[in-house]
């Protein structure tokens, strides 16, 4: 049985074409592949915002703050994650970008200290992606044998159609509002949907 969460081939081709406009994305994908990190993706804002920039006629890197590098390692020690962070930063040190490297297996250990509430542990990087704040930016990519592998739990439709829809399973309305306020100023053509039109049962991934 086919996994119908995978984007259709035409969507992947469009996504590939847009990402090819951002040389930093391409360079990251090529370099990160050699590290052979477990269950890894380049994802989130740097992917979605590259697509938005192309649609707006901007330089492909406009407004992108972080290049999110997510991986999943059962070693939950801070030491192991710090080693990966240092390795990635060294690998990308000559590029004008800020890598944000996180082991998704240990996000639940620090989430409450940053956001004020605890969350359920993730079971994989794909599980983590399915909790990210919007359907458009809940996406991860990597290259395997020259092919772009795309993990998009909500498909790529919202991303390619410039729709921003909240994924309510983990974030709060305030977190969503803060994100879209900035995004709407940088990418005015985005169709930003209200919290009520989001996906997922609100807070289902939060621990009460």
**Is residue 1 domain-resident?**
no
b/e map 156-185, b = 16+ CB within 10 Å: bebbbebbbbbbbbbbbeeebeebbeebee
Cβ proximity of 16 and 141 under 8 Å: no
**Is residue 132 domain-resident?**
yes
**Is residue 146 domain-resident?**
yes
pLDDT at 160: 96
**Is residue 116 domain-resident?**
yes
Rounded Cα gap, residues 67 and 44, in angstroms: 8
Q: Above 80 in pLDDT, residue 90? A: yes
**Is residue 147 domain-resident?**
yes
The predicted-structure confidence for 48-73, as pLDDT tens digits, reads as follows 999 999 999 999 999 998 899 999 99
% of the chain exceeding 90 in pLDDT: 90
Q: How does the average pLDDT of the chain come out, rounded?
A: 94
Q: Above 60 in pLDDT, residue 5? A: no
The residue range of the domain holding 110 is 9-207
The predicted-structure confidence for 168-186, as pLDDT tens digits, reads as follows 999 999 999 999 999 999 9
**Is residue 4 domain-resident?**
no
**Is residue 3 domain-resident?**
no
**Is residue 30 domain-resident?**
yes
pLDDT at 2: 46
Q: Which band of pLDDT confidence, cut at 50, 70 and 90, is reported for residue 9?
A: low
Cβ proximity of 47 and 139 under 8 Å: yes
Domain count, the chain: 1
Of 204, 41, 39, the C-alpha closest to 120 is 204
Pairing of strands 99-103, 67-71: parallel
């Amino acid at each position: 049985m086919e996994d119908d969460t995978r984007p259709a081939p035409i969507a992947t081709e469009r996504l590939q074409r847009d990402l090819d406009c951002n040389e930093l994305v391409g360079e990251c994908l090529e370099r990160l592949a050699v590290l052979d990190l477990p269950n890894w993706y380049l994802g989130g804002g740097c992917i979605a915002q590259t697509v938005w920039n192309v649609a707006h006629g901007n330089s492909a890197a406009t407004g992108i703050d972080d290049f999110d590098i997510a991986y999943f390692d059962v070693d939950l020690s801070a030491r192991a994650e710090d080693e990966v962070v240092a390795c990635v930063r060294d690998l990308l040190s000559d590029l004008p970008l800020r890598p944000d490297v996180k082991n998704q297996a240990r996000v639940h250990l620090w989430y409450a200290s940053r956001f004020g509430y605890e969350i359920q542990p993730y079971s994989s990087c794909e599980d983590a992606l399915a909790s990210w704040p919007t359907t458009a930016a809940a996406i991860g990519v990597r290259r395997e044998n020259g092919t772009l592998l795309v993990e998009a739990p909500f498909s790529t439709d919202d991303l390619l159609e410039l729709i921003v829809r909240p994924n309510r399973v983990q974030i709060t309305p305030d977190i969503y509002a803060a994100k879209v306020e900035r995004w709407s100023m940088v990418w005015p053509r985005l169709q930003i949907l209200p919290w009520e039109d989001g996906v997922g049962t609100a807070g289902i991934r939060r621990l009460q």
